[in-house]
Amino acid sequence: MPEFPDSIRTRADVDAHLKALLVRDARLVAVAEKCGEVPLRILGAGYAGLVKIIVGQLLSVAAAAAIHERLEAHVGRVTPDSVLSSNDQDLRDLGLSYAKIKGLKAIADELQSGRFDLASLGGLEGDEALQRLMSLPGVGRWTAEIYLISALGHPDYFPAGDLALRKVVRLVVAAEELPSEKEVRGIAADWSPHRAVAARLLWRYFAVLRDREGINL
């Protein structure tokens, strides 16, 4: 039996994966010492969780949170029905782009029609679930990987296209230039099967560095 769980659902799960990760790559020990507790970062599975991730595409955490808060105030409970019944211009006024509105409504229609079942993803192998998610309108690899990590608790995905992660990976490996997404995937491969906690650790490190005066990321 492994010393770490097959999914990440609790604080203890994060700690178990983190312990194994730091043994695997000593460069991350100093990072962990600066970060304190690594956040669990779990979202609810289902449409509401996916909506929250899509809202956050290409936005800062603060901007995404503000738009999502306005969306919840506008529609109440975020469901396929509540989004489909909302006027596009009203959603646009909340700060959502037309592309995101189109994607959110198209996904809602897929779910309502029964053509797609988000609940079934938990029973699939990771890569199959990833490809199924990426078949949805408006869901690219970053969104799909974030959903697998944050909603389904998958322990071994690393969203290498995430700009914050790319910036911090550059610091970890002491690279002169910002590594490409492909290069980051190669680096993160060495952190398997703990890549989801590696992502959580490096997001936390990014936040710590941004809070320190004089750090330019």
- What are the tens digits of pLDDT across the range 71-118? 999 999 999 999 999 999 999 999 999 999 999 999 999 999 999 999
Tell me, yes or no, whether 90 and 119 share the same domain: yes
Tell me, yes or no, whether 73 and 162 share the same domain: no
Which 8-state DSSP code applies to residue 180? P
Model confidence at 66: pLDDT above 50: yes
| Confidence at residue 123, expressed as pLDDT on a 0 to 100 scale | 87
> Rounded to whole angstroms, how far apart are CA atoms 80 and 96?
16
Tell me, yes or no, whether 133 and 194 share the same domain: no
- HSE toward the beta carbon, residue 208, CA cutoff 13 A: 17
Structural domain that includes position 199: 11-40+157-210
Last residue of a domain, one of 150, 167, 195: 150
Model confidence at 1: pLDDT above 60: no
Structural domains in the chain (count): 2
Tell me, yes or no, whether 162 and 146 share the same domain: no
> Rounded to whole angstroms, how far apart are CA atoms 94 and 63?
11
Q: Which two tokens stand for residue 178?
A: 């910002």
Closest CA to 119 of 49, 28, 196: 49
Last residue of a domain, one of 134, 150, 166: 150
- HSE toward the beta carbon, residue 4, CA cutoff 13 A: 23
- Which residue in this structure is represented by tokens 């409970």? 77
Residue pair 191/158 in contact by the 8 Å Cβ criterion:
yes
Model confidence at 208: pLDDT above 70: yes
| Residues 6 or more apart whose Cβ sits within 8 Å of residue 14 | 8, 38, 39, 40, 197, 200
> Rounded to whole angstroms, how far apart are CA atoms 138 and 10?
29
Q: At 217, is the pLDDT very low, low, confident or very high (cuts 50, 70, 90)? A: low
pTM: 0.92
Tell me, yes or no, whether 69 and 97 share the same domain: yes
> Rounded to whole angstroms, how far apart are CA atoms 19 and 143?
27
